[in-house]
């Protein structure tokens, strides 16, 4: 009998060399079925006015619910925290309601979703700030580059950054309170957890790195001071969510948004070590070797040793994102460089990415012209494998909720 049963059992279709990606993982209170996470991805399609997640966003995230965990697009914690037109917030009642429809749709599809909490600091513009005030930063240093705003005609426009205002010491407790309020709102919106966005040159990263922080008070100077705001934010959120539903994202050696650090090994090594003490759900890093890896090149030794340093200093779950292909993701898991791999652009174009990787099916190519703004095109219309086989797409926009 056994032989017959074995002979007739349908073989599990799995692409060669994706075994570790498909091993389950225990993340805080969650049993993840595999190791493929959806990275946070800004899509700039929030409903206006008010920067409210739309029913289409619920559809987009529900389509991607087979990720082991979805990390939401960066979501501003306050009006002051906004840096781009049309990104969603989590500071108004309407936004919380909008997000609740998103989390409901993801949960109905058996997914998990964390909210990425975002304050952009100097990467903003008066046109996006309350009462057209100056953006805030650790120090009054103008970033190179341009801000994306909405002009008087309602169109997106790039305009040069302005010189931000340095936060006064008296204001500092109120920054952590903005995160606290957003974290409570994320609970009201029924997220499964939150990720503190301390990467890519935004406010917390501006405090962390020497190039943007020239303060002479307890938030500037030695790394213990530059890390203070991030650690205060983490400590403010732990009583709200519990440590095992909080992640932190860092980008060691990252250059995005005109950021740099004089001694990144010391800076990020210290922070990884300190974050270990909290027993968080995970530390998430943007792969320092992303640029080379996405171009199929050998990573710089410094980038690899930075990833190794973080791995050594951080005692807990490490998630890495950036430049991965299925084979390099598998290799990083095999070499214990990461516990979870987050994919960004591949999830934009492949709503059923885990199924495609499992089957070794071809991947849709992402279209950068539809990353930001617009509607369904390039957002909810990338086909699943089932659609490739001729099935009708699932209708997932429920218009009845408003
Ligand atoms: C369109 C787009 C939007 C992004 N938005 C965010 C974001 O909101 N928050 C964030 O931390 N990273 C963001 N990133 C970075 C991604 O999370 C990820 O680190 C990056 O895409 C590299 O991973 P990949 O090579 O798998 O795409 C974004 C990237 C892209 C392409």
Q: What token pair was written down for 235?
A: 């400590």
Nearest CA to ligand 1 atom 2: 41
Nearest CA to ligand 1 atom 1: 371
Question: What's the rounded Cα separation, in Å, for the pair 189 and 227?
Answer: 29
Q: Please tell me the pTM assigned to this model.
A: 0.96
The predicted structure's pLDDT at residue 13: 61
294 lines ligand 1 (CB under 6 A): yes
Nearest CA to ligand 1 atom 22: 322
Please check whether residue 310 is in contact with residue 337, taking contact to mean a CB–CB distance below 8 angstroms.
Answer: no
Question: Alpha carbon of 54 to those of 82, 100, 155, 211, 261: distances in Å?
Answer: 18, 10, 19, 37, 38
Nearest CA to ligand 1 atom 12: 40
Cα(202) to centroid(ligand 1), Å: 14
The predicted structure's pLDDT at residue 14: 67
Nearest CA to ligand 1 atom 4: 41
Please check whether residue 61 is in contact with residue 105, taking contact to mean a CB–CB distance below 8 angstroms.
Answer: yes
The residues pairing with 282 across neighbouring beta strands, listed in sequence order, are 247
Q: How many helices (H) and strands (E) does the chain have?
A: 14, 14
Closest by alpha carbon to 200, among 191, 192, 209?
209
Q: Please pick, among 60, 61, 202, 282, the residue that the annotation labels catalytic.
A: 202
Say what angle helices 301-313 and 264-276 make with each other, to 10 degrees.
Answer: 20
Question: What's the rounded Cα separation, in Å, for the pair 31 and 272?
Answer: 24
Best of 35, 37, 38, 41 for a ligand 1 pocket test (most atoms within 8 Å of beta carbon): 41
Instruction: From first to last of the 402 residues of the chain, give the pLDDT tens digit.
Output: 333 333 333 445 667 788 999 999 999 999 999 999 999 999 999 999 999 999 999 999 999 999 999 999 999 999 999 999 999 999 999 999 999 999 999 999 999 999 999 999 999 999 999 999 999 999 999 999 999 999 999 999 999 999 999 999 999 999 999 999 999 999 999 999 999 999 999 999 999 999 999 999 999 999 999 999 999 999 999 999 999 999 999 999 999 999 999 999 999 999 999 999 999 999 999 999 999 999 999 999 999 999 999 999 999 999 999 999 999 999 999 999 999 999 999 999 999 999 999 999 999 999 999 999 999 999 999 999 999 899 988 777 655 443
Cα(82) to centroid(ligand 1), Å: 17
The predicted structure's pLDDT at residue 11: 42
Cα(168) to centroid(ligand 1), Å: 31
Note every long-range contact of 125-131, with CB atoms under 8 Å and residues 24 or more positions apart, other chains counting. Answer: 125/83, 125/149, 125/159, 125/161, 125/162, 126/162, 127/159, 128/82, 128/83, 128/84, 128/85, 129/79, 129/80, 129/82, 130/79, 130/80
Q: Which residue has the tokens 């993340």?
A: 27
Please check whether residue 77 is in contact with residue 89, taking contact to mean a CB–CB distance below 8 angstroms.
Answer: yes
Phi-psi region of 16 (alpha: psi -120 to 50; beta: other; left: phi over 0): beta
Q: What token pair was written down for 280?
A: 């968080």
199 lines ligand 1 (CB under 6 A): yes
Decide if 61 is catalytic. Answer: no
The predicted structure's pLDDT at residue 230: 99
Question: What's the rounded Cα separation, in Å, for the pair 328 and 323?
Answer: 9
Give the number of the atom of ligand 1 that is nearest the alpha carbon of residue 87. 8
249 lines ligand 1 (CB under 6 A): yes
344 lines ligand 1 (CB under 6 A): yes
Say what angle helices 93-108 and 55-63 make with each other, to 10 degrees.
Answer: 30
């Amino acid at each position: 009998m056994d032989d017959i049963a074995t002979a007739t059992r349908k073989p599990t279709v799995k692409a060669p060399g994706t075994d570790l990606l498909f091993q389950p993982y225990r993340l805080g209170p969650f049993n993840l079925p595999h190791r493929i996470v959806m990275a946070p991805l800004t899509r700039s399609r929030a409903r206006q006015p008010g920067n409210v997640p739309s029913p289409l966003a619920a559809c987009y995230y529900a389509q991607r619910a087979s990720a082991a965990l979805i990390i939401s697009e960066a979501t501003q914690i306050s009006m002051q925290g906004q840096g781009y037109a049309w990104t969603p917030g989590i500071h108004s009642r309407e936004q919380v309601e909008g997000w609740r429809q998103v989390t409901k749709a993801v949960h109905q599809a058996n997914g998990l979703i964390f909210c990425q909490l975002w304050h952009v600091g100097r990467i903003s513009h008066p046109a996006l700030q309350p009462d057209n005030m100056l953006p805030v930063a650790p120090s009054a240093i103008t970033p190179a580059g341009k801000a994306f705003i909405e002009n008087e005609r309602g169109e997106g426009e790039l305009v040069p950054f302005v010189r931000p205002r340095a936060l006064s010491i008296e204001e500092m407790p109120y920054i952590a309170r903005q995160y606290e309020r957003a974290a409570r709102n994320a609970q009201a919106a029924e997220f499964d957890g939150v990720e503190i966005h301390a990467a890519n040159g935004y406010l917390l990263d501006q405090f962390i790195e020497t190039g943007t922080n020239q303060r002479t008070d307890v938030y500037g100077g030695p790394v213990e001071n530059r890390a203070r705001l991030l650690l205060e934010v983490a400590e403010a959120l732990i009583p709200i969510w519990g440590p095992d539903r909080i992640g932190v994202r860092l980008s060691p050696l990252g250059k995005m948004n005109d950021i740099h650090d004089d001694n990144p090994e010391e800076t990020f090594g210290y922070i990884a070590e300190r974050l270990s003490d909290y027993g968080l759900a995970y530390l998430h890093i943007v792969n320092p070797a992303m640029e080379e890896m996405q171009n199929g090149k050998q990573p710089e030794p410094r980038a690899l040793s930075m990833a190794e340093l973080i791995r050594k200093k951080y005692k807990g779950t490490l998630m890495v994102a950036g430049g991965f292909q299925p084979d390099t993701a598998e290799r990083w898991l095999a070499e214990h460089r990461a516990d979870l791999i987050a994919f960004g652009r591949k999830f934009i174009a492949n709503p059923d990415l885990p199924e495609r990787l499992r089957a070794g099916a071809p991947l849709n190519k992402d279209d950068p012209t539809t990353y930001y703004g617009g509607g369904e095109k390039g957002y909810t219309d990338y086909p699943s494998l089932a659609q490739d086989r001729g099935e009708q797409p699932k209708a997932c926009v429920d218009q009845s909720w408003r």
